[in-house]
Homo-oligomer: A and B are copies of this chain.
Amino acid sequence: MSKLRVAVLGAKGRIGSEAVRAVEAADDMELVAALGRGDRLETLVEAGAQVAVELTTPASVMGNLDFCLRHGIHAVVGTTGWTDERLTHLRTSLAASPETGVLIAPNFSIGAVLTMKFAVQAARWFESVEVVELHHPNKADAPSGTATRTAQLIAAARAAAGCAPQPDATVTALDGARGADVDGVPVHAVRLRGLLAHQEVLLGGEGETLTIRHDSLHHSSFMPGVLLGVRRVVDTPGLTVGLENYLDLG
């Protein structure tokens, strides 16, 4: 079987250089281009790239994708900064290149994506749901963006299912003890030397609890998701937002 011809844009960055290594290590892929700031996009065409992994910056991503779509190159995009306006522009460009696929993935960690998905599916079936995230102490925000997003999705799923508010008989509390309130879902942030990035969703019902925990122990954890994106995007024309859509969750 011929190998997928893959290019990496933003190849000099921390994540981009890991992506380069991951593509090189994949049996079914060939790295045909690794572009950094200032390199010519035409290289993608000359190298015969089928898929571009886009890991640059919000300032560069739109131009890069326009180029890819004009040349029928599929794209797997980790760059952030997606507004409704940008998504609309991208959809228009895709309409003119109907066989090309683009995956935008806010999170390439398969474990993180599944944690969020399972938490949302389970949330309506339990009386209580709380989120505990644990990170290294150099992190500037609390809770993490992922934890806040998880809690928002959980709250929305519970609202849609008509769940009652969570039971909580607390009458006297120290400030902060019950965590941050994100749409009615308590979120707790632990900061501990030695940790990287971890998240736990705790769900409780009569006599039982369900815990879904994701541990990211090394920043290489998003590479399997990038490779999965590359393999799938070539058979998935149009725009896909979220890696979960490639996970056959039924």
A binding-site residues for B, Cβ under 8 Å:
109-112, 114-115, 118, 121-122, 125-128, 130, 132, 134, 137-143, 148, 166-182, 186-196, 202-224, 228, 247-250
A202 surroundings in chain B (CB, below 8 A): 134, 190, 192
Chain B residues contacting A248 (CB-CB under 8 Å) are 121
Q: Is the CB of B220 within 8 A of A206?
A: yes
Shortest Cβ distance from A134 into chain B, in angstroms? 8
Copy number in the complex reads 4
Interface core residue of A128, A182, A192, A205 (most chain B CB under 10 Å): A192
Q: Quick one: which of B168, B213, B250 contacts A191, CB cutoff 8 A?
A: B168
In the complex, A188→B130 CA distance in Å?
11
The residue on B at minimum CB distance from A167 is: B137
Partner of A140, one of B118, B172, B177, B207: B172
Asked if B173 contacts A130 (CB within 8 A), the reply is no
Contact B223 A111 (CB under 8 A): no
Those 4 A-B pairs whose CB atoms lie nearest each other, nearest first: A207-B221, A192-B204, A207-B218, A174-B180
**Distance of A173 Cα from B190 Cα, bound (Å):** 12
State how many angstroms separate the Cβ of A122 from the closest Cβ of chain B: 5
Residue of chain B at shortest CB distance from A113: B125
